[in-house]
Copies of this chain bind each other. A is one copy, B any other.
Amino acid sequence: MAENVLSYQQLFDFSTAVLQKIGCSAADADLAIKVLLSADLRGIDSHGVARLSGYVRLWEAKRVNANPGINIIHQTPSTAVVDGDSGLGLVVAPKAMQIAIDKAKNVGTGWVSVQNSNHFGIAGYHAMMALEHDMIGIALTNASPLVAPTFSVERLLGTNPICVAIPAGNESPFVADLATTTAANGKLEILQRKNGVAPLGWIQDKNGKPSTNPHELKGGGALLPLGGDREHGSHKGYALGAVVDIFSAILSGANYGPWVPPFPAYVPMPDEQPGKGIGHFFGAMRIDAFRPASDFKKHMDKWIQRFRSAKTTEGQKKVIIPGDPEREMEAERMKNGIPLLPVVLDDLKYLSEKFGIDF
């Protein structure tokens, strides 16, 4: 492997050791790193091991509790509100999703809103937990404000992703995992490193005017909701991001809108905290609560095959089924290793020295 390419196992062993050093149990560290590295495997590098030092800094700032007592604080047969006790979202989220799955086993569906959590990695990991149970999985989370609603100069929403994972039969599952913005923040970071030009419709400047400068966010600019501008439906992206915020945080009692705590530990907390931590929302629907799973999967296969074989626009090989690119990347990186940017390698070396863990 090239110098900057590490195997999954290397990254797993190192990263779990780091989390144990900050006080996580072995089981929690394994779970958290499984979630974290699923981002690297699936090619969503911005949400993977690149954030490991960020989580450590949140723990140093006493914003992460390494040994949370994760509790259900209210429930009905199909719902629960979970208090994450300031735990790593990487641990809180899969445990909350498991509660949704267990409820779905009993009454057909389960819906869990979570307060007092932290960043949970990629939504896809949690939603996909449902697949092996022949369930549809849903995962939403709010995040610190980077996005300006339509007509707003102010950043009031996070990139608030929606993930829906749906089992198929012979075909691979359908996994839609999308930020409710035109472009994910990770794509903007790539342009920032290159000093590139962002397409119009991705960002606005601090005065709310359209901009193509990828550095605009540091100067008070904002990401734009999916749609980009009013004429192209940005009010729809804004509405979807708002729904994610409300389901994740107002149903649970977490912070919402402009009051969601920032991920970087050095960024000051908002002046006000109307809730606790950040919020997530999970759903699980048992397929056979609607119809026999075998019938459903047969038709999912037909749906997928029809879409994938559609006549394409010029220069395109096929219509992509949501989840295809990430699954292909996962197979490739599990086999050939995960390439890391120099800045990420430096971060890991810093953690290696700090905690005395071989790297």
Contacts and interface: CB of A to CB of B under 8 A. Distances in A.
Interface of A: 74, 76-79, 81, 107-109, 111, 113, 136, 149-154, 156, 162, 164, 166, 174, 176, 178-183, 199, 201-202, 204, 207-209, 226-228, 231-233, 235-240, 242-243, 245-247, 250-253, 256-258, 274-275, 285-287, 289-291, 295-296, 299-300, 302-303, 306-307, 310-314, 316, 318-320, 322
B258 A322 contact: no
B152 A311 contact: yes
A81 B322 contact: no
Contact of A312 (B208, B228, B313): B208
B239 A312 contact: no
One complex includes copies of this chain to the number of 2
Nearest to A106: B77
Contacts of A239: 164, 176, 178, 322
B291 A81 contact: yes
A107 B151 contact: no
B227 A182 contact: yes
A274 to B, nearest CB: 6
A80 to B, nearest CB: 8
A129 B313 CA distance: 41
A199 B232 contact: yes
A82 to B, nearest CB: 10
Contact of A182 (B204, B233, B291): B233
A312 B312 CA distance: 41
Contacts of A151: 312-313, 316, 318-320
B246 A300 contact: yes
A314 B252 contact: no
B227 A311 contact: no
Contact of A291 (B74, B162, B235): B74
Contacts of A238: 322
Contacts of A174: 242, 246
A74 B209 CA distance: 52
Given A74-B291, A313-B208, A111 B108 contact: yes
B275 A299 contact: yes
B256 A303 contact: yes
A153 B257 contact: no
Contacts of A79: 108-109, 285-286, 289-290
Contact of A176 (B109, B243, B258): B243
